């Protein structure tokens, strides 16, 4: 079997597993989805491109089924391997007025990396916002330099440092092997759950699938997420015509490069959740929504009366998406975290590093975009269940569970962890689309999955945070 044929087979199998055996028996992925081009190879033992094509393909086929339920029209879906590979870190290919946007701010970011502890663990601290950076530096009592962080962390034992970070609500963990994580109480718990969890939380009347011109143009999506994974769930729904309104705190805005990428296809408004007026406005918006997406620390929204049960009371039939770092139950159920912690804790980084220092995957990002695509798949599965049986649903995905799912896809042979890595994108040449925006002319990766009848596209350029009113059109 040729390599591309093997990866195609792996992708169809992964999609069928995500969508369920009943789905596969009715409509096997290979009947509707065509994978074409050459599958790019990353310097990694993990099936990264297969993972991207599988997550995007599962979402796309779910949209196709929804559109068929609404209109009776069938479509086929095509995914180019190159575009799928680039979707793991699309911001890398993004340009503004012809210039690439930097990934990090050297003025605000902590010097995140794997640092060895006193008991020879490899600890990864994250300080991607000023308050987190300052909290880490205060705890470690050191300067924000690689040498100072290495020296400070070398004084701590791994478990003690993890607990100190957790007590201060700072993101940081030490790298574990896959076996270590699967024997950890939180890892054991996640291993029993699917990569995409869809739970019925309340009853409501069925709401039949509807569409006007585009598959999702009768849906309203309230995006309360931040950073990447949550907003990517909502951005994916916007690909097919959903009206998406993103709500951002004026005091807690995402970095510029992420905003330009994840605000595509949306309107954007400011609200302050620490005021009664802001909370009431959010509740009013939920009452008019079909989908709510949030990616804050577990329990954060529930404390404000905006959890999944609250949303179901406000709007029976709501689809509520929660994106977490390690799941929202279990001993780590209240911990927050970011992309690289999912790789580190689950075994991905240890395997990427071989017997030496752990490494993140070549694109640097893995869980953020994959979790967004998986969350969008869960939204469509919940909408289909709502159309057939009624009910409000809670869709749960997590960064750590996504990394576990990637490992469950199997490993590639011939990987040499001692081989020095260069620029991951050097061999990648994606097709980009150009759009005018408030930020000037942008070049960005278009939607990866393309439909035979209803083109996947974003109708709106990325909006600056707070550019619109907090109201539905």
Convert the pLDDT of each residue in 182-201 to its tens digit. Answer: 999 999 999 999 999 999 99
Which ranges constitute the DSSP H helices of 229-323? 229-238, 256-262, 276-287, 300-303, 308-314
Could you give the C-alpha distances from 326 to 108, 399, 414, in angstroms and in order?
25, 6, 31
pLDDT attached to residue 423:
87
- pLDDT tens-place string over residues 240-292: 999 999 999 998 888 888 899 999 999 999 999 999 999 999 999 999 999 99
pLDDT attached to residue 252:
85
DSSP state of 419: S
pLDDT attached to residue 2:
57
Q: In what order do the strands lie in the sheet with 33-36?
A: 33-36, 77-80, 450-451
Alpha-carbon torsion 260, 264, 270, 271, what sign? negative
- Binning the chain into helix, strand and coil, the percentages to the nearest 5 are 40, 15, 45
What 3-state DSSP class applies to 431? coil
The beta strand positions in 381-458, using DSSP E, are 392-398, 433-437, 440-444, 450-451
Report yes or no: 379 and 198 within 8 Å, Cβ to Cβ: no
The Cβ of residue 305 has, within 10 Å, a number of other Cβ atoms equal to 14
Report yes or no: 359 and 352 within 8 Å, Cβ to Cβ: yes
Alpha-carbon torsion 168, 252, 363, 188, what sign? positive
Question: Could you write out the DSSP letters of every residue in 65-134?
Answer: HHHHHHHS----EEEEHHHHHHTTSGGGG-EETTEEPPSS-TTT------EE-TTS-EEEE---SHHHHH
User: What percentage of the chain reaches a pLDDT higher than 90?
Assistant: 87
**Stretch(es) of the chain classified as CATH 3.40.50.10540:** 3-104+188-332+359-451
- pLDDT tens-place string over residues 391-422: 999 999 999 999 999 999 999 988 888 888 88
What 3-state DSSP class applies to 171? coil
The beta strand positions in 197-261, using DSSP E, are 197-202, 220-223, 243-248
The Cβ of residue 471 has, within 10 Å, a number of other Cβ atoms equal to 12
Q: In what order do the strands lie in the sheet with 243-248?
A: 197-202, 392-398, 319-324, 291-294, 220-223, 243-248, 266-270
CA 395 to chain centre: 13
Bridge pairing between strands 291-294 and 220-223:
parallel
pLDDT attached to residue 26:
80
Of 50, 46, 42, 45, which Cα lies nearest the Cα of 4? Answer: 50
Of 295, 381, 262, 352, which Cα lies nearest the Cα of 15? Answer: 381
Report yes or no: 299 and 230 within 8 Å, Cβ to Cβ: no
Q: Which CATH number fits domain 3-104+188-332+359-451: 3.30.420.40, 3.30.70.60, 3.40.50.300, 3.40.50.10540?
A: 3.40.50.10540
Residues (pLDDT < 70) of the chain are 1-3, 104-108
């Amino acid at each position: 079997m040729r390599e591309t044929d093997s990866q195609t087979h792996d992708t169809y199998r992964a999609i069928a597993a995500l969508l369920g055996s009943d789905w596969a028996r009715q409509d096997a992925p290979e009947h509707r989805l065509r994978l074409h081009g050459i599958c790019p190879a990353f310097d990694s033992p993990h099936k990264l491109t297969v993972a991207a094509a599988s997550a995007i393909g599962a979402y796309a086929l779910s949209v196709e089924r929804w559109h068929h339920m609404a209109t009776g029209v069938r479509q086929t879906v095509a995914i180019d391997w190159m575009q799928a590979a680039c979707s793991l870190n699309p911001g890398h290919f993004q340009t503004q007025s012809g210039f690439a946007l930097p990934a990090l701010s050297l003025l605000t970011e902590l010097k995140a990396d794997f640092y060895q502890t006193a008991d020879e663990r490899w600890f990864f601290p994250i300080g991607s916002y000023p308050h987190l950076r300052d909290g880490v530096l205060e705890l470690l009592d050191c300067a924000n330099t690689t040498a100072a962080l290495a020296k400070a962390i070398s004084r701590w034992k791994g478990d003690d440092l993890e607990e100190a970070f957790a007590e201060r609500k700072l993101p940081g963990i030490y790298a574990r092997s896959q076996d270590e994580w699967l024997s950890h109480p939180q890892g054991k718990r996640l291993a029993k759950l699917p990569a995409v969890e869809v739970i019925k939380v309340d009853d409501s009347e069925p709401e039949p699938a509807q569409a006007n011109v585009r598959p999702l143009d009768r849906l309203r999506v309230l995006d309360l997420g931040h950073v990447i994974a949550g907003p990517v769930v909502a951005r994916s729904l916007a690909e097919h015509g959903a009206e998406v309104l993103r709500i951002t705190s004026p005091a807690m805005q995402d970095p510029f490069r992420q905003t330009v990428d994840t605000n595509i296809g949306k309107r954007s408004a400011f609200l302050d959740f620490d005021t009664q007026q802001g909370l009431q406005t959010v509740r009013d918006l939920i009452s008019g929504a079909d989908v709510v997406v949030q990616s804050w620390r577990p329990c954060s929204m529930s404390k404000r009366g905006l959890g999944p049960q609250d949303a179901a009371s406000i709007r029976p039939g709501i689809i509520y998406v929660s994106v977490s770092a390690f799941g929202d139950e279990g001993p780590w159920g209240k911990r927050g975290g970011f992309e690289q912690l999912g790789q580190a804790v689950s075994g991905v980084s240890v395997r990427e590093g071989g017997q030496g220092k752990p490494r993140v995957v070549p694109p640097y990002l893995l869980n953020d975009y994959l979790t967004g695509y998986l969350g969008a798949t869960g939204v469509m599965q919940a909408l289909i269940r709502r159309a057939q049986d009624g009910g409000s649903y809670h869709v749960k995905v997590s960064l750590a569970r996504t990394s576990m799912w990637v490992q469950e896809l199997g490993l590639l042979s011939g990987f040499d962890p001692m081989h020095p890595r260069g620029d991951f994108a050097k061999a990648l040449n994606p097709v980009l689309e150009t759009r005018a925006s408030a930020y000037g002319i942008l070049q960005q990766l278009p939607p990866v999955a393309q439909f035979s009848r209803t083109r996947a596209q974003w109708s709106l350029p990325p909006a600056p945070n707070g550019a619109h009113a907090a109201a539905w059109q």
